[in-house]
A and B are shown apart, each in its own frame.
Chain A
């Protein structure tokens, strides 16, 4: 327990340690701590921002969805309207076509009737001539009585 040169040696050692600590130990550690603090703060801020953006995006998405729904309803209404129109047009067209077909059929029927009547008329005239010929037991000269026969045919 004697005071000796150790006192000075310890002072120098101590001063050196403090100097080394001040130069090479303290600043980097404190710097790293500051950097980490900043990093964490930045991270938290970024997370906040992200959350905010998420909220905005959700809001935008719901707005868009709402718009789209309205638009879809409009489109459906238009489509329905258009479908009704198309059906009406088709109905009208079909009706017109039917009418036309009926008219055409009627005309054809009339023609057929007419033709049948003509044919019938010819046959009836032939029958009449044949009948008359049998009745008269003689051959009627068709040529001689052509004008007569024609007159009868027209009367039929």
Chain B
């Protein structure tokens, strides 16, 4: 897969395709013209194959990177937690411990500022969201061809490095958060209270259909906006990196311009990735806070 063989469109499409593992049905004609004798579990070699695998397929790169990053986050924080528990805070905290405690205090104050009820789940949830999303977004700062080239050398057809540019990842999180919102809404207010909240306001019981429509949209908008905001930002950022990367094959002047642009966009992107992680976290806290409140 040398760069010369690709047109710009192919280059972009290639970068936006996940490494998908799934089942192709019998009689399916693959990208290279091979016709499958029986249904086969395999990696998709073209975007069309990935699409035709349907729902029963998995994006190996998204899962892999997100799990590795999440495990890294939990490993580091767990080590600090163990060290902190072991010494019972006797010594002067060192570098990593300081950093982790600083992050934890930052999350703790954010949660205390926006979340009025008592729930031991919310703060760890916020911490996980913030760090995990931040790490996933951080992959965006890696030069976009490095890992796909390595993967290409290893024989993998696609490699999408940033998990948060995959809507599966962002919706996976936002739907989990949504499930928590529904769970705590019902738990705190009861089924009746929750249904009442959806149907009896803002227009009173005679405006029930209008209420249901408004509140329903309001409710559904939460997970959708949560997921799409993160996905959209990261996807757009990734797209700009790809477009800049195309300049590298356009001669010396364009390549130099591209280098400067990439640097500038990367610096700006540091702000975006942190901000997106923070927004996702804060909105999660706010939604859960609303779920805990009797009246709003």
Contacts and interface: CB of A to CB of B under 8 A. Distances in A.
Contacts of B259: none
Q: How large is the interface on A (under 10, 10 to 19, 20 to 34, 35 or more residues)?
A: 20 to 34
A15 B173 CA distance: 8
Contact of B124 (A10, A14, A21, A32): A21
Interface string B62-74: 1100110010011
Interface in A1-21: 1-11, 13-15, 17-18, 20-21
B14 to A, nearest CB: 13
Interface in B31-89: 50-51, 53-59, 62-63, 66-67, 70, 73-74, 77-78, 80-82, 84-85, 88-89
Contact of A29 (B55, B74, B100): B100
Contact of B58 (A4, A25, A33): A4
Given A6-B58, A6-B59, A18 B171 contact: no
B contacts with A: majority SS: helix
Given A30-B123, A33-B105, 17 more contacts: A4-B168, A6-B59, A7-B175, A13-B67, A14-B173, A15-B176, A18-B124, A25-B78, A29-B100, A29-B104, A32-B85, A32-B88, A32-B101, A33-B84, A35-B88, A36-B89, A39-B90
Contacts of A28: 81-82, 84-85
A10 B100 contact: no
Contact of A4 (B57, B73, B74, B85): B57
Interface stretch (B15-23, B139-147, B265-273, B286-294): B15-23
6 contacts: A11-B172, A14-B132, A24-B78, A26-B104, A28-B82, A29-B80
Given A4-B59, A6-B58, A18 B66 contact: no
Interface residues of B, number: 53
A59 to B, nearest CB: 35
A107 B90 CA distance: 99
B78 A1 contact: no
A25 B127 contact: yes
B200 to A, nearest CB: 31
A24 B172 contact: no
Interface of B: 16, 18, 20, 22, 50-51, 53-59, 62-63, 66-67, 70, 73-74, 77-78, 80-82, 84-85, 88-90, 93, 100-101, 104-105, 108, 120-121, 123-125, 127-128, 132, 166-169, 171-173, 175-176
Interface of A: 1-11, 13-15, 17-18, 20-22, 24-33, 35-36, 39
